[in-house]
């Protein structure tokens, strides 16, 4: 199976850019739901996999093209895994400055020193004819700072320090550095490996 063009089921500019950069070496034309004027599919699932499958299948059905969707989120130990699948909606009006402030306030209210958290990502690729999905998962563990550091990335990146890094937040890393260890980078690396297998 050869994929020459891929629709990214997202309206999130940061996410689209990150995925495009990761797939650039594979000579796949990447277009977004925004480029094709496709709808922003509502995430009604209760897991990352349900939401990614839902978005990929819906837009593959509408566009008639291969569609890649992901759902990802920040899971905080002391908050019982919240915000999880509700990470984007957790931020009032998708304003992540407010979302970060809200999250840090809730952590403070627990009076716990536990700052452990992880990012999870599930990527789903939907076939345009069969609407069957292949699913790829990625995860990165780390901890949260009590204040923002860095101006890059998006979402909760300014407060998340990955365990496998050098003490910087995701927002202090460039795109290449982040992609090597990020949840989305790991899920997409599995997708890319599958592309390489298909092309043999």
Tens digit of pLDDT for each residue in 147-158?
999 999 889 999
pLDDT surpassing 80 at residue 58:
yes
**Residue 15: how many CB atoms within 10 A of its CB?**
19
> What's the number of domains the chain is made of?
1
- The parent domain of residue 92 ranges over 5-198
Domain holding 93: CATH number? 3.90.950.10
pLDDT at 1: 59
- Quickly tell me which residue has 């020193």 as its tokens: 113
Handedness of CA 102, 180, 50, 76 (dihedral sign): negative
Residues in a beta bridge with 8: 32, 68
Query: Is residue 71 annotated as part of the catalytic site, yes or no?
Result: yes
pLDDT at 198: 60
Cα–Cα distance for residue pair 43/46, rounded to 1 Å: 8
Q: Which of 105, 194, 93, 200 is nearest to 146 (CA)?
A: 105
Q: What's the pLDDT band for 109 if we cut at 50, 70, 90?
A: very high
Q: Which of 139, 146, 134 is nearest to 100 (CA)?
A: 146
pLDDT at 157: 96
pLDDT surpassing 90 at residue 161:
yes
Which position among 71, 97, 163, 166 bears the catalytic label? 71
pLDDT at 20: 84
pLDDT at 84: 96
Mean pLDDT of 101-128: 96
Tens digit of pLDDT for each residue in 74-93?
999 999 999 999 998 888 88
Tens digit of pLDDT for each residue in 1-27?
578 889 999 888 877 887 888 788 878
pLDDT at 199: 54
Tens digit of pLDDT for each residue in 131-148?
999 999 999 999 999 999
pLDDT surpassing 70 at residue 200:
no
**Residue 80: how many CB atoms within 10 A of its CB?**
8
Tens digit of pLDDT for each residue in 173-198?
998 899 889 999 899 889 988 877 66
pLDDT at 69: 95
Residues in a beta bridge with 7: 31, 67
């Amino acid at each position: 199976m050869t994929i020459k063009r891929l629709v990214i089921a997202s309206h999130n500019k940061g996410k689209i850019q990150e995925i495009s950069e990761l797939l650039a070496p594979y000579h796949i034309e990447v277009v977004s739901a925004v480029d094709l004027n496709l709808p922003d599919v509502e995430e009604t699932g209760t897991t990352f996999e349900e939401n990614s499958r839902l978005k990929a299948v819906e837009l593959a059905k509408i566009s008639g093209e291969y569609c890649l969707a992901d759902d990802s989120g920040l899971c905080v130990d002391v908050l019982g895994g919240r915000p999880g699948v509700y990470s984007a909606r957790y931020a009032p009006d998708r304003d992540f400055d407010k979302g970060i402030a809200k999250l840090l306030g809730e952590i403070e209210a627990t009076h716990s020193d536990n700052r452990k958290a992880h990012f999870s990502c599930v990527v789903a690729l939907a076939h345009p004819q069969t609407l069957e999905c292949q699913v790829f998962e990625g995860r990165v563990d780390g901890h949260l700072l009590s204040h923002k550091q860095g101006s890059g990335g998006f979402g909760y990146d300014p407060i998340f320090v990955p365990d496998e890094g050098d003490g910087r937040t995701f927002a202090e890393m460039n795109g290449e550095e982040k992609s090597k260890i990020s949840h989305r980078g790991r899920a997409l690396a599995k997708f890319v490996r599958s592309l390489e297998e298909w092309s043999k």
